């Protein structure tokens, strides 16, 4: 196929040569020859170019490559318009964008230089922090004080608290050990832009089902990352590759039902803890995680016992533009609190403002997460054994002990089963895998798995005269909370922030209205027009419903023969009201900033039933009739099983939940230490 003159000609019309190389020489040929493009796709392309050759011969040419460029464009346009050939043309176009505008390991195609993208600023040399050591299978004890399942912000924090209290902990992470270089710079398999099997995905052998109106659909992380609902499977969980927005929930977020009532068909519930009780744990989470922020408009409604450990990240053109617009509107604004080192901190350097923070590991280890804060502190006590590439496949509860069955070497061809006992098992595997594991283990009540919800997301774009989002990180920079519990947006509303700079591949797939999606005009827009696109992003409350849930599929099985998750997501009408309100206020902000052609993107809500902010599936509360755990995460009906992750959250607030996950994990783990099962 790669020897086809017609294929080369077609690629070079999708991305024509000008002052910059055409698609073929600029990276597409190399991409088409890579393992990313598998045989089914090659067969489709072969049929497409054979059809182009036939079309050319019908016009008296020797083949498609022999036609002048204008006639080649005519042939491609005819192919794109033919319903039978449209999917094949879309594949060609997508592969051209991938080859020309996406970085992968060891490859930087021409399109990146053309649009001015550099992964790290000049002079910055990436560093590789020393990886924490995992214990060998023969070093695993047969009994621990606690086994913690999952090393994200919940599990990592629990391990930190338990080991500091003198308890011996086995911290289990399903993913194999990965260094930061493996989790950075791949625009085809990154967390936020996975086209192919994600580097932080669970790998093969973990299918799920989506329970849709048209029946169940089987999805796989390797081929359907968007629909699958991708949470990061890696040491540190999502905090390894997040941008680090580290917000506190507002007081009203803990009593949504009290403030707003419960709309018909919804399952709003108040938290069994309020902001005042959680405040000391928020302060501890900010200190131990390391957050850069500033007190002011964004902290006015969240009383604080202390300041941020680091000053806010420095300003940038987008912040300046939207700050002026906010002041013109009479809105409050501030720099977003970020778990990034704005200055050297905790023995690690300051952020270098690389161009690919969101969804990628940090090139200089300035991004703060469970992997380089609470987990190293737990390991430093000498009372934490970290076991990576090991999956818990069963949790057991009992009078004298709890325990788990592990598959050690989970990613390899010959995993070894291992049973380990403990006084208590802390399950911190996330809002999908926590209930799936517990349900598959025969634990939990009818509330376990219910009330699955996330956040509502909207994006509003416009065109600005001067570019304000160059390829300089870390990403989101400015926010307003004026539409959170403020009456302008119903049901608690949501935070509005500036839209981060998009990767070149993402921009290629979403040109401005009126811009062709291939050819010379598309390439020119990528070179000059793309930089003038700017946007506002809204993230708001999602109203939970009891029918949205994680269950056990009766059909699909994981690689161990356990039931895969089946996910159902029902969207309450109140959530759509929140979408509309955030979009309206976001458009107002952009217009006040002088943007033109302001428009709301459609289809930007959570694509999957399980998004990266999913929560609620092991809801904590005082009654087993309305919750899955008690107020401190202990599973109803179990003696020695505690949940410690976002699954506990009855509602998800109007901002990113990670700092709340950590704060609540400090609270849950401290209570566990004080009320240790005998």
Tell me the average pLDDT across 320-338: 98
Give the domains, in start order, of the chain with CATH numbers.
5-101 (no CATH), 153-453+544-582+604-674 (3.50.50.60)
The strand pairing partners of 533, in sequence order, are: 463
Spatial distance between the Cα atoms of 355 and 353, rounded to a whole number of angstroms: 7
Taking residue 138's Cβ as centre, other Cβ atoms within 10 Å add up to 5
- Dihedral sign, Cα of residue 85, residue 86, residue 89, residue 94: negative
CA 513 to chain centre: 27
Strands (DSSP E) contained in 111-189 are 143-149, 169-173
Indicate whether 258 pLDDT > 80.
yes
What values do phi and psi take at 137, rounded to 5? -60, -35
**How high is the pLDDT of residue 607?**
54
> Are residues 535 and 459 in contact, defined by beta-carbon separation less than 8 angstroms?
yes
Give 60-64 contacts, CB < 8 A, sequence gap 24+: 63/5, 63/6, 64/5, 64/6, 64/9, 64/10
How much is the average pLDDT of 32-37? 94
Please tell me whether the overall predicted TM-score, pTM, comes out greater than 0.85 for this model: yes
Q: Which two tokens stand for residue 453?
A: 């919800």
537-585 tens-digit pLDDT: 999 999 999 999 999 999 999 999 999 999 999 999 999 999 999 999 9
Asked if the model's pLDDT at residue 600 lies above 90, the reply is: yes
Q: What percent of the chain has pLDDT over 90?
A: 93
| Residue 474 near residue 243, CB atoms below 8 Å | yes
Q: d(Cα 489, Cα 480) in Å, to the nearest integer? A: 13
Confidence of residue 225 (pLDDT cuts 50, 70, 90): confident
**Does residue 76 have a pLDDT over 90?**
yes
pLDDT given for residue 604 in this prediction:
45
Q: For residues 510 and 525, what is the distance between their CA atoms, to the nearest angstrom?
A: 11
Distance from chain centroid for Cα 6: 39
The owner of tokens 């990061």 is 232
CB–CB of 538/586 below 8 Å?
yes
pLDDT of residue 615 exceeding 50, the answer is yes
Q: What number of residues does the chain have?
A: 678
Q: Tell whether the model's pLDDT for residue 603 goes beyond 70.
A: no
Strands 549-557 and 563-568: antiparallel
- Tell me the mean pLDDT in the region 345-354: 97
Q: Is 232 in a helix, a strand, or coil?
A: coil
Neighbours of 130 (CB within 10 A): 8
Give the chain's mean pLDDT.
Answer: 95
Residue with tokens 């090991």: 390
pLDDT of residue 1: 65
Mean pLDDT of 228-243: 93
Is the predicted pLDDT of residue 86 greater than 70, yes or no? Answer: yes
pLDDT band at 658 (very low <50, low <70, confident <90, very high): very high
Give the pLDDT band of residue 678 (cuts 50, 70, 90): confident
Q: Is 238 helix (H, G, I), strand (E, B) or coil?
A: helix
Residues 444-486: pLDDT tens digits? Answer: 999 999 999 999 999 999 999 999 999 999 999 999 999 999 9
pLDDT (tens digit per residue) in 100-155: 999 998 889 999 999 999 999 999 999 999 999 899 999 999 999 999 999 999 99
């Amino acid at each position: 196929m790669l020897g086809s003159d017609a294929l080369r000609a077609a690629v070079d019309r999708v991305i024509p040569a000008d002052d910059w190389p055409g698609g073929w020489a600029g990276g597409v040929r190399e991409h088409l020859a890579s393992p990313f493009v598998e045989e089914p796709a090659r067969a489709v392309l072969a049929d497409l170019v054979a059809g182009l050759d036939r079309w050319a011969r019908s016009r008296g040419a020797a083949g498609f490559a022999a036609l002048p460029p204008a006639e080649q464009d005519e042939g491609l346009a005819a192919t794109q318009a033919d319903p039978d050939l449209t999917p094949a043309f879309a594949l060609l176009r997508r592969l051209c964008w991938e080859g020309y505008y996406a970085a992968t390991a060891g490859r930087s195609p021409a399109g990146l230089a053309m649009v001015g993208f550099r992964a790290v600023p000049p002079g910055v040399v990436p560093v590789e922090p020393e990886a924490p050591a995992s214990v060998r299978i023969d070093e695993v004890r047969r009994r621990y004080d606690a086994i913690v399942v999952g090393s994200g912000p919940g599990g990592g924090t629990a391990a930190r608290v338990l080991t500091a209290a003198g308890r011996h902990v086995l911290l289990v992470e399903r993913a194999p050990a990965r260094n930061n270089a493996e989790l950075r710079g791949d625009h085809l398999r990154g967390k936020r832009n996975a086209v192919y099997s994600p580097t932080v995905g669970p790998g093969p052998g973990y299918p799920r089902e989506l329970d849709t109106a048209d029946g169940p659909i089987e999805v796989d992380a390797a081929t359907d990352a968007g629909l699958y609902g991708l949470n990061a499977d890696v040491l540190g969980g999502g905090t390894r590759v997040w941008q680090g927005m580290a917000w506190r929930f507002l007081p009203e977020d803990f009593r949504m039902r009290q403030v707003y009532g419960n709309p018909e068909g919804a399952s709003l519930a108040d938290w069994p803890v309020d902001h005042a009780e959680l405040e000391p744990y928020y302060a501890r989470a900010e200190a131990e995680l390391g957050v850069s922020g500033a007190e002011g408009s964004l902290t006015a409604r969240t009383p604080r016992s202390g300041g941020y450990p680091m000053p806010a990240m420095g300003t940038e053109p987008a912040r300046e533009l939207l700050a002026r617009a906010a002041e013109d509107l009479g809105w409050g604004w501030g720099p977003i609190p970020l778990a990034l080192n704005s200055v050297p901190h905790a023995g690690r350097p300051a952020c270098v403002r690389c161009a690919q923070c969101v969804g990628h590991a940090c090139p200089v280890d300035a991004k703060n997460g469970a992997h380089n804060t609470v987990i190293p502190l737990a390991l430093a006590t000498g009372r934490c054994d970290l076991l990576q590439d090991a999956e818990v496949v069963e949790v057991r509860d009992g009078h004298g002990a709890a325990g788990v069955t592990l598959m050690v070497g989970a990613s390899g061809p010959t995993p070894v089963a291992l049973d380990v006992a403990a006084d208590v098992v802390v399950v911190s595997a996330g809002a999908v895998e926590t209930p799936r594991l517990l349900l598959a283990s025969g634990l939990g009540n009818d509330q376990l798995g219910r009330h699955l919800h996330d956040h509502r997301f909207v994006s509003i774009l416009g065109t600005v005269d001067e570019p304000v989002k160059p390829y300089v990180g870390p990403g989101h920079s400015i926010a307003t909370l004026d539409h959170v519990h403020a009456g302008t947006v119903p049901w608690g509303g949501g935070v509005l922030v500036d839209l981060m700079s998009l990767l070149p591949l993402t921009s290629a797939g979403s040109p401005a209205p009126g811009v062709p999606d291939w050819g010379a005009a598309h390439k020119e827009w990528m070179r000059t027009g793309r930089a003038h696109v700017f946007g506002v992003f809204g993230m708001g409350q999602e109203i939970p419903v009891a029918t949205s849930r994680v269950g056990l599929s009766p059909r699909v099985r994981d690689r161990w023969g356990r039931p895969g998750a089946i996910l159902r997501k029902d969207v309450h009408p109140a959530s759509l009201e929140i979408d509309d309100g955030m979009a309206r206020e976001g458009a107002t902000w952009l217009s006040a900033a002088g943007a033109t052609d302001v428009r709301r993107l459609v289809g930007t809500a959570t694509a999957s039933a399980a998004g990266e902010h999913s929560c609620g599936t092991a809801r904590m509360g005082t009654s087993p009739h309305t919750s899955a755990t008690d107020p401190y995460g202990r599973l109803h009906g179990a003696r020695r099983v505690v949940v410690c992750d976002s699954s506990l959250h009855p509602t998800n607030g109007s901002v990113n939940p990670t700092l709340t996950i950590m704060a609540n994990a400090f609270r849950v783990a401290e209570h566990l230490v004080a009320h240790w099962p005998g």
